[in-house]
Structure formats: C-alpha cells, structure tokens
Amino acid sequence: MLAMPEPKPEILARRAEIVAALAERVGAANVIAEPLRLKAYETDGFTAYRRVPLAVVLPETTAQVAAALAYCHAQGIRVVPRAAGTSLSGGALPLEDAVVIGVARMNRILEIDLADRLARVQAGVTNIAITRAVEGEGFFYAPDPSSQLACMIAGNVAMNSGGAHCLKYGVTANNLLGVTMVTVEGEVLELGGAHLDAAGYDWLGLITGSEGQLGIVTEVTVRILRAAEGARAMLVGFAATDVAGAAVADIIASGIIPVALEFMDRPCIHACEAFAHAGYPLDAEALLIIEVEGSEAEQDALLAKLAAICERHGPMTMRIARTAEESAAIWKGRKGAFGAVGRISPDYLCMDGTIPPGRLPEAMRGIGALAKQYRLEVANVFHAGDGNLHPLIMYDANDQDSFARAEALGADILRLCVELGGCLTGEHGVGIEKRDLMTAQFRAVDLDQQKRIKTAFDPGWILNPHKVFPLVDA
Amino acid sequence: MPPGEAAEATEAPPDEAALAARIAAAHAAGEPLAVWGNRTKASFGRPVQAAASVSARALAGITLYSPAELVIAARAGTPVAELEAALAAKGQHLVAEPPDLSALCGPEGGAADGPPTIGGAVACNLSGPRRIALGAMRDQVLGVRAVNGAGEVITSGGRVLKNVTGLDLCKLLSGSRGTLAVLTEVTLKVLPAPEATATIMLRGLDADRAVAALAAGLGSPFGVTGAAFLPDAAAEAAAGVVRGLGAGGSATLLRIEEFADFIPYRSERLAALLAVHGQASVFGDEASRALWRSVRDAVPLRVAAAEGVWRLSVRPSAGPRALATLAASGLRGFLDWGGGLVWAAGPATEASQRAVSSAAAASGGVFWTVRAPAALRAALPVVPPEPPALAALTRRVKAAFDPKGILGPGRIFAGV
C-alpha cells in the first residue's frame, strides 16, 4: 500500500469554521460538507485508495475558484483539484484534511469559432461535449481518452490526456491554445489565448500535464480540427508478438501514419471476444487494429499498402473493412476492452507505461515473466504506434495478498518500461500511483529542478499534495 | 555591437561536462553569460549585458535516429541541415520546418559562427508554415538535456512519443532562449516526409477575402499544411525566387503534402471548394517546395539592410486587420498560419516598434522583435510585457533554474 500523509489535526478541528468560511466565499449551495455527500468524492478512477475530504467546493465562476484558493492558501489548508474524477492514477484522490475544489459546475461552452478553428469552454465541460458541439459541421476535438464520455477538459489539461489517435493528432498539449488558470494565491492568469505560441516562457506547455500541482484551470481554449472524409480499419492476427511488432515497425517506416494502430495480446483478444463477439481470431497471439483516413479511394489505397506490408509477415488472419459498419465491428471489441477484462476478473489495475516501439517483443516477454512470478493474469492492450502500453493486471480486491501482488507487479512492469528506454506514464499521469517510482526514471537533480518549479508556483505545497513527487512534505 | 553579441568573447566548450563546468564557475562567480549556438538569431531578443558568452555549438552530432520509432536525437550544436539530410535519407523530415533566419538576424556588423543549430531552433521555438497544421517546434520535443544556471546537468522527457511523467520541462525550455538552461541535447519526434507537394494559388484577393479562403481550406478535409497570404509587394518579391509565380497581384497560397497519388484529387477538390473566392491555379512539387521555403524564411518581406523585422501571432481572422494597422504605420508584411502569423518589416524606429506592439495587443495576440538595432531592442520590449502576477512567476521560475540570473540576463525581459 502507498503511504498517505497524516491529516493535520489542527485543520480537522477547524472543519466547521472552514466550511462556513468557504460558504461565505462561494455560496452555501456550492459547498458540500455532509458526510454522505462527501463520500461520493472519496476516490477517483483509482478506486483502491479512498479518503473522505474535509469539504468539497464546486464553484460556478473563476472568481469563486480564486476566492476559495486564496482562503485555503492564507489558512494553509490543502487543496485537491478535481474535474470528473476519472483519473486512473489517483490524481484526484482527496486527503482527510483537504478541501476538494471541483470544476464540474463550470460546464458551459463559451464560444465556438469554426473559421478560426477553436472552442473556448469552461473547465468542467466533458471531452466528448466539445466534439458533439462541432461534429455537425464536420469538426472534432482530437484527444480522445477512453473516458471521454465522462472526463472533463480540466482533467485532460491536468493529465495531458491522450487517446487512441495521438499518433496522428497528438495529445492535449498539442491541441491547446489557451487556459485561464487560478494560482494558489487566487490570482487569475490568462495563459495563451486564441493565437499560437508563447512570447515569453511556455506557460501553457508547463501547465499541461502538471497534475494540479501549479494551479486550477477554469477555462480552456482548444483547437478543433476538420475531420477527414472518412476512416476505415483493418484487423490482422499474428501467431507471435514479435511478428506483430515487426509489422508495426515496417508500417511506420513505410511512410504511412495510421490514425490508430492498436495491439492486443491473446488474453485481451479472448476477453474482448467473449464480451463483444467482434469476430476476433481466438488462435492469434497478437492482434493489430489499424485505421486509416481519407477519401474512399485513399482509404482503399492505404489499406492495400498496409495489407501488403502485413502479408510479408505471414498473418494468420486479415480482415479489411469495406464499409463504416465493418469498421465499427472491428473496433467493437477494442473499445470494450476494459469492460471485457472487468467481466472476467473482479478487479484490475490499468497500467500505463511507454516503451520505444522497437522494444515491444522484449516488453511482452518481460511482462509475461513478471506476471508468472507474481501469479497473476495480465491482459495487454497497447497503442502500438507510439509504444504506449496498457497492461491490465487482474486481481481480487477482497484478497489483500492478491492486491499487494498486483501493485508490486504493476511497479515492476513500469520499471521494466523505464529500463527499456521508456517512461512510467504515457497518458494517465503519475498521481499517487506512480509517485514512489519517480526515482526509477529521474535522478535527484532532475526531480529537484521540478520541485523548485513547483515551489515557484505553490510555495506552501498545498496544491494536490503527496502526488507526483516522491513523499515530499513541505 | 552589444557586448553579449561579440564573437571574440564566445567560448565553446567541447562537451557537455565542460559546458557544465564553465557555467558552474560562472555561477560561483556571479558572472553573467550570453548564451549562443551559432548566433544566427543574434538580434532575436534584447541585447544581453554580459562580458562573456558561452556557446553550445561544439556539442555536435546525431546521437540516435530510429526511423521506425519516429525519433531522432542530436547534440544542441548540430546544424539543422545535418538533421534534415539524415532524415531525408530515410524519407522523413522535421515536422515544424524551423525557418533559417540567418540572413535576417545574424550578429550586427558581423557574421554568424555557422549555420542554424537544432539547439537554437528549439531554444527559440521558431516554426515554419506547417505550424498551423502539425504543431510548433516545441510540440516535437520529446526529451532534453540541459545545463541550468547552477551548472547542473538536468534532463526531462525521454525518447518516447507519449510521456506525461513529471513536469514537462521540454516545452518550458523550448522558446526560453537559453535563459533558464543551456540545451545540450534534444530528442525530437519526426514524421514521414510527404512524397509530393502541391500549392493551390488564388490571385488578386484582398486580405479579408484571402484569410476567408485560407480558413475554408484549413477547415476542409483535404489536409492543408500551409496557408499564406502575400499582398502585392510580397508576392512580387516571392516571384523573384519562385519560378512561375509571375505577376498578378496578391497571392493566396494553400499547400497540400501527400502521397503523390493523392495530390490530383485533393488539388481538384480544394480548387473547387475555393472557386467562390476565385480561379485557382496549381503549382507542382518543385515550385511548391521553393515557394514554401521562401515563406518559411520570410523572403517575401524583401528586407532592406537598415530595416527592422517583427513577427506577430494573432487569432487568424485578426490577421488582415493587424496587417492594415501596420501598413498605416508604414510597415509592410505578409500572413502565414492561415492569417495567424504576421511578418512585418519597415523602418527600425521606436514608432514602428510601438505600432507592432499595439497591433498585437489590439488583436489579443503577441509579438516578437526579430531584428532591430541593439539600442532599440534595449529601449523597448521585444515581446509583450507580462501582467504583474505573471511577471512575478517569470522571475520565480527563472530563479528556480538560474538562482543568480547569469544565463542571458535580460534576453527576453529587461531585468530577468
């Protein structure tokens, strides 16, 4: 189990006073203090850890966020920023002596400008809502994390969220134009705007992925893109992981950048097939789903080129979608992968390391050996083109030993990613989950540099404490 | 020549350890240093008041290139052209196509020390026409090694395409112009180079119509990767270097980069989409490449020896108004990035500098002084001043990297 800080008794003792002070600043209707309602905020998508917060504040305006932060800063009260609470790394996990400041009630789309290809939204707007608002005109917001129905843009900015289409369209950081951010002192900063690039330091780049350590984002301007004319997928099954890995390398080297290039291993194929009946080959060791975009003729040409490359690697099965419906059928299993694994195992940990794609076979062998060592099943689903791995470690939450082994296995898998030249997290963030592994990737001098930046923004270290940086207490 | 831009004082340590030792010594002595690569962008920023200079130009060479993983790494002093050649040999390229501004902003009254380096391209975060479609230089930076102002070698990021581990110093250092840390090695994402390029051109539009046409192209599904507007004078200047451009007034230009087989269809569809704005003509591969290289390097400005040069980044639809405001102040220019990037040139005077500053502010955007005499760059801000809360953060973050303020003091903001 990960160590959590002791709550400060002097803060706990002032609970009623703090709740009253917050209500005065943001309105009583925007403060939650009843134990039953607080319980809804005790965890996020990393459900193995739970802490009921001191209070939850759900401001409706940037000014209210600023007032709440200024008060907490002045009083030395810890603050845990929260959007939809879908973090898989415990990024929004509360602390007993912390005030959660959530942006869920700031959920309006403020401006859509198709000519300038941007949308300005409040931070509590969901990821999918941006695409929904512009898809009628053929546009979309590119980053598409699996949680996109629920997750909010503030959380996407905090975690620099990705998705299945990053290889072509990039992650959140590459699709942002500006944010309104409230500093811990309650100052409102406009970083970026409707234009490209920073004149001074790249605040937008630093804020994105900073996991609520530097401030609270209340408004976001994103770039929206015109969707391609169409997209279609193909599915290819291979008898061995190494062969699938070699096919991936050949595809990238061929000059084609597929819009998605997904990999599933045998346990994942079986789980998805049982769940979704997508017609996946049950005898394959590795399955690739490859999607391309363009006009019908361009899709045909690209799929033919990809098929020729895959043929050179002797696939067991190959299915090329001829229509959007056939394409959807290919995606059906992959899109339900997490749910499918959830059906065969009572609980699972979804890991998120990245490796250089060329090391895929070694990573697969290493993960297999580690899983055996810890006596646990692992199903693998990866964004193969960019080397972002999502091993799903199955365990039983009612069995403490099983959970302890799952956590230890997850940590070893992430250390393996670092050893192979990769990193601890590709898109889920460090949060609390990977906090203690940071020293596997960074030297003390590197972490110290990051901590000095944190201190420049948050001198008292009250923002999202005990996350990201290994057991630092201010 | 300002002291920090003098070649004779520049030291170029042979490796990262020596560079770190030199900076550690300067840190111990509280000795300010100007920070350079080959000084091809010497005038891009305020003059640095430092008797000594340090350059990363001797740290050279590609350290990793894995085409199938879309990643290349090189020491900071490696010429951009060397990376471009290595990538071209494998059919790949640098996505952000960083401009070569050595003809515009080399050292006053002297020559640069060599060609533009990759460290300089990242440190200045300068991106070419593809910025509007595929991201800036900073968007391609996967990993950095650098020496901070205490002489410590720090790293951030890595060599993988997706990485959210810890704070992203890669982006923070990109564009920081050596004032936080001196880059020693950068790792970049690369992409397959397109097989072929074509340009759709409309002649004689005014700026408003042109930007509407560019917006229509960028908002189309046909993959526009360049969108520029050259007013009459700029089009005429470009015609001097691009065969076949000829006369005909302003030029509205949209670039497609694709597999050769896909180009005819996309050109036709784009021309049809733009028919409401005028009759389109299409440039083939060779002329297109020459054309966009000239747009990338601001050649259509045809800058005279004593003139100043500025870059403004604004909301694309605000580009025409910014251009008109600048013209009223005696500055000429052209638009890239669908209207969002304004290149401007004219008399290197305080009046011009103020006109640029207010045009950027009026459109809610930003500006950079690219070239002006040192006295002007010292007297007036070279980027928009930050509001107090942000300026305080700038100072604190600067101190977090460079506690004694020895790295390029005053390069971006006076006193920082």
Is the whole-model pTM more than 0.90? yes
Same structural domain, B6 and B29? yes
pLDDT for the residue B3: 53
Q: Do B313 and A195 touch (CB under 8 A)?
A: yes
Share of residues in chain B with pLDDT > 90 (%): 93
pLDDT value for A473: 47
Which of B64, B138, B154, B165 to mutate to test binding with chain A, by most A CBs within 10 Å of its CB? B165
Task: Judge if B1 and B144 occupy the same domain.
Answer: yes
Average pLDDT for residues A154-171, to the nearest whole number?
Answer: 94
Interface touch B219/A226, C-beta < 8 Å: yes
Lowest mean per-residue pLDDT among A52-66, A354-368, B396-410: A354-368
Per-residue model confidence as pLDDT tens digits over B21-46: 999 999 999 999 999 999 999 999 99
Tell me: the pLDDT tens digits for B101-116? 999 988 877 889 999 9
Closest residue by Cα to residue A404 from A377, A361, A374: A374
pLDDT of residue B4: 54
**Per-residue model confidence (pLDDT) at position B105:** 87
- Residues B207, B71, single domain; the answer is no
- Alpha-carbon distance A176 to nearest alpha carbon in chain B (angstroms): 11
CB A84 within 8 A of CB A150: yes
Interface size A-B, in CB pairs within 8 Å, comes to 250
Residue B161: name the closest of A355, A248, A212 by CA: A355
Query: What is the token pair recorded at A51?
Result: 């802490």
Which residue of chain A comes nearest to B368, CA vs CA? A199
> Are B33 and B58 found together in one domain?
yes
Average pLDDT for chain B:
95
| Contact status of B172 with chain A (Cβ, < 8 Å) | yes
Mean predicted lDDT score pLDDT of chain A: 95
Q: Indicate if B84 and B208 belong to the same structural domain.
A: no
Closest chain B residue by Cα to residue A250:
B68
State residue A339's pLDDT score. Answer: 85
Which of B172, B212, B220 has the CB atom closest to A226's CB atom?
Answer: B220
The reply to whether B278 touches chain A by the CB within 8 Å rule is no
Please tell me the total count of domains within chain B.
Answer: 3
Please state the rounded mean pLDDT for residues A290-303: 97
Mean pLDDT for A104-129 is 98
Same domain, B22 and B150: yes
In B292-321, the residues whose Cβ lies within 8 Å of chain A are: 313-317
Q: What percent of chain A has pLDDT over 90?
A: 89
B88 at interface of A, judged by CB pairs closer than 8 A: no
Q: For residue A450, what pLDDT is reported?
A: 98
- A15-55, pLDDT tens digit by residue? 999 999 999 999 999 999 999 999 999 999 999 899 999 99
Q: What is the 3-state secondary structure (H, E, C) of chain B?
A: CCHHHCHHHEECCCCHHHHHHHHHHHHHHCCCEEEECCCCCCCCCCCCCCCEEEECCCCCCEEEEEHHHCEEEEECCCEHHHHHHHHHCCCEECCCCCCCCHHHHCCCCCCCCCCCEHHHHHHHCCCCCCHHHHCCHHHHEEEEEEEECCCCEEEEECCCCCCCCCCCHHHHHCCCCCCCEEEEEEEEECEECCCEEEEEEEECCCHHHHHHHHHHHHCCCCCEEEEEEECHHHHHHHHCCCCCCCCCCCEEEEEEEECHHHHHHHHHHHHHHCHHHCCEEEECHHHHHHHHHHHHCCHHHCCCCCEEEEEEECCHHHHHHHHHHHHHCCCEEEEEHHHCEEEEEEECCHHHHHHHHHHHHHCCCEEEEEECCHHHHHHCCCCCCCCHHHHHHHHHHHHHHCCCCCECCCCCCCCC
pLDDT of residue B49: 86
Residues B84 and B209 in one domain: no
Q: Are residues B98 and B167 in the same domain?
A: yes
pLDDT band at A474 (very low <50, low <70, confident <90, very high): very low
List the single residue in B165, B191, B262 with the smallest CB-CB distance to A430: B165
Question: What pLDDT sits at residue B243?
Answer: 80
Our CA-based measurement puts residue B212 at a distance from the nearest CA of chain A, in whole angstroms, of: 8
Which of B152, B171, B316 faces A173 most closely, judged by CB atoms? Answer: B171
Q: Which of B239, B272, B296 is the last residue of a domain?
A: B296
Q: What is the pLDDT of residues B269-308, one digit of tens each?
A: 999 999 999 999 999 999 999 999 999 999 999 999 899 9
Q: Mean per-residue pLDDT for B156-178?
A: 97
Domains of chain A: 9-105 (3.30.43.10), 109-226 (3.30.465.10), 231-338 (3.30.70.2190), 345-438 (3.30.70.2740)
pLDDT of amino acid A472: 55
A355 contacts B152? CB cut-off 8 A: no
Q: CA of B360: which chain A residue's CA is closest?
A: A195
- The mean pLDDT value for B316-327 works out to 98
Among B296, B319, B343, the domain boundary falls at B296
Asked whether residue B183 falls in the same domain as residue B96, the answer is yes
Contacts with A172 from chain B: Cβ below 8 Å: none
Q: Using a CB-CB distance cutoff of 8 angstroms, which residues of chain A are in contact with residue B69?
A: 249, 252, 356-358, 387
Residues B146 and B31 in one domain: yes
- Which residues of A fall within a CB distance of 8 Å from B223? 228
A418 to chain B: nearest residue by CA? Answer: B158
| A115/B317 touch (CB, cutoff 8 Å), yes or no | yes
Q: What is the residue range of B326's domain?
A: 303-379
The predicted pLDDT at position A77 comes to 98
Clarify whether residues B11 and B114 are in a common domain: yes
pLDDT digits (tens, 9 = 90+) for A233-267: 999 999 999 899 999 999 998 999 999 999 999 99
Residue B7 in this model has a pLDDT that exceeds 70: no
Mean pLDDT of A187-203: 97
pLDDT at B6: 57
Share of chain B above pLDDT 70, in %: 98
pLDDT over 90 at B311, yes or no = yes
| Whether B146 and B61 share a structural domain | yes
Say if residue B259's pLDDT is above 80: yes
